């Protein structure tokens, strides 16, 4: 308990310091008590609501919608204020310099007050950019579904699958959903792609199976003529909540697995299926979650039993670190791997063909999009839903469409 008290005290001191320095910018540019009061009151309301949610949320409940929402508001006000702090703390250093200079030459520092006002305006102007972005991300960005299309060429692709199209979705996180109309739009967008095969790469729920109860009828309308298949993600195991008994956790885990056939997906648990077309076939392999630093239940060798090395293989594995550490250099040759998990951290900057950045890249080497090494591909889907932060900023929810093309072997 004493450890948590120390953590709370440190956190409170940091918050106070951030708020104090950020408030200096407002003080510098206006003496209007109403504006100053709104600034202070909004912070008090958000921090107060955060404390209230922590107090009323059961310790074993995990990240509830209320917790996600208030955490989103915390980030929305704190990140812009950190930008302001960077300016105002630097200005305080100048103020110390100003004080020392005034002892030498009182008339030499007359323009420092104007500099402070100027810097405060710049700081507030820059802070408005992430503030507006986070507000948009919470209100609209989390539903800003994008269809990303890729055409991948393989020399060893069976001829019958030339032009075969796959829709990949990932990270539904149904426990975060609040708007049925928006989610229905996303589901309809998936169906509009009219592809041959549909693959879901894990994290159906945040923690508990009943999070899908209100969404089963919607998601079971997804269709693909060559089938719908799925694997589990780290959140599907129920590892992030406190269960009364181990039996309750196992019961929930089984219930999560039982949801997949209810929405028409065949769940692959360290196993494979052959997709056949015109007398030819490709191997679809699905493993349980395997991730560096996460649950490592997946068994790739077991899933690949009775699959030939010469078969064209599509591997479904939730966490892209599996590809990085076990798959990409495997001599068994998994030509195409589909993953999710990272969400691209739900925030970043992507200008196609020019620039990509997200904090996620400091955690995962393959954090979003398509990658190729050793002649093998992985696509890391940015996720259909959202988790923790109730929004998306620059990293939009994704539906991936991959068209397989037959390549000509080089002489």
Angstrom distance (rounded) from CA 188 to CA 380 = 22
pTM: 0.90
313-366 residue pLDDT tens: 999 999 999 999 999 999 999 999 999 999 999 999 999 888 999 999 999 999
Comparing 55-69, 183-197, 204-218, 312-326, which segment has the lowest mean pLDDT?
Answer: 55-69
The CATH number of the domain covering residues in 144-406: 3.60.21.10
Inform me whether the pLDDT recorded for 169 exceeds 90.
yes
pLDDT tops 50 at residue 240: yes
Task: Tell me whether strands 280-286 and 271-277 are parallel, antiparallel or unpaired.
Answer: antiparallel
Cα–Cα distance for residue pair 335/313, rounded to 1 Å: 6
pLDDT of residue 1: 47
Q: Where are the domains of the chain?
A: 2-139, 144-406
Say how far residue 355 (Cα) sits from the centre of its chain: 19
Average the pLDDT over 378-396 and give the result. 96
Convert the pLDDT of each residue in 276-298 to its tens digit.
999 999 999 999 999 988 788 99
- List the one residue out of 410, 323, 326, 405 whose CA is nearest residue 372: 323
pLDDT on residue 357: 95
Q: Report percent pLDDT > 90 for the chain.
A: 71
């Amino acid at each position: 308990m004493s450890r948590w008290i120390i953590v709370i005290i440190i956190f409170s001191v940091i918050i106070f310091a951030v708020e104090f320095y950020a408030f200096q910018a407002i003080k510098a540019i206006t003496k209007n008590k109403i504006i100053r009061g709104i600034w202070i009151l909004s912070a008090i309301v958000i921090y107060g609501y955060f404390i209230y949610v922590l107090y009323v949320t059961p310790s074993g409940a995990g990240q509830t919608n209320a917790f996600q929402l208030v955490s989103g508001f915390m980030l929305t006000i704190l990140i812009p204020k950190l930008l302001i702090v960077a300016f105002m703390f630097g200005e305080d250093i100048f103020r110390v310099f100003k004080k020392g200079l005034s002892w030498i030459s009182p008339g030499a520092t007359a323009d420092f007050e104007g500099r402070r006002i100027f810097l405060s305006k710049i700081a507030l102007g820059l802070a408005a950019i992430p503030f507006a972005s986070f507000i948009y991300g919470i209100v609209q960005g989390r539903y800003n579904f994008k269809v990303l299309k890729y055409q991948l060429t393989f020399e060893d692709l069976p001829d019958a699958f030339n032009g075969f199209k796959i829709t990949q979705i990932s990270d539904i996180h149904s426990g975060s959903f609040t708007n049925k109309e928006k989610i229905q739009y996303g589901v309809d967008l998936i169906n509009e792609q009219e592809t041959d095969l549909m693959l879901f790469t894990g994290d159906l729920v945040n923690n508990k199976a009943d999070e899908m109860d209100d969404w089963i009828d919607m998601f079971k309308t997804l269709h693909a003529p060559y089938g719908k298949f799925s694997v589990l993600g780290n959140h599907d195991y129920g590892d992030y909540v406190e269960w009364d008994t181990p039996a309750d956790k196992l019961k929930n885990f089984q219930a999560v697995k039982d949801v997949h056939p209810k929405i028409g997906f065949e769940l692959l648990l360290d196993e494979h299926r052959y997709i056949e077309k015109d007398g030819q076939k490709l191997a679809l392999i699905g493993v349980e979650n395997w991730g560096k630093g996460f649950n490592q239940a997946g068994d790739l060798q077991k899933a690949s039993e009775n699959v030939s090395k010469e078969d064209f293989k599509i591997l479904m594995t939730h966490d892209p670190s599996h590809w990085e550490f076990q798959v990409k250099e495997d001599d068994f040759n998994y030509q195409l791997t589909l993953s999710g998990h990272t969400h691209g951290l739900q925030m970043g900057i992507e200008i196609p063909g020019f620039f990509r950045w997200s904090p996620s890249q400091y955690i995962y080497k393959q954090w979003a999009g398509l990658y190729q090494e050793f002649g093998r591909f992985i696509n890391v889907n940015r996720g259909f839903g959202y988790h923790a932060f109730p929004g998306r900023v620059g990293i939009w929810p994704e539906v991936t469409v991959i068209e397989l093309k037959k390549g000509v072997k080089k002489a």
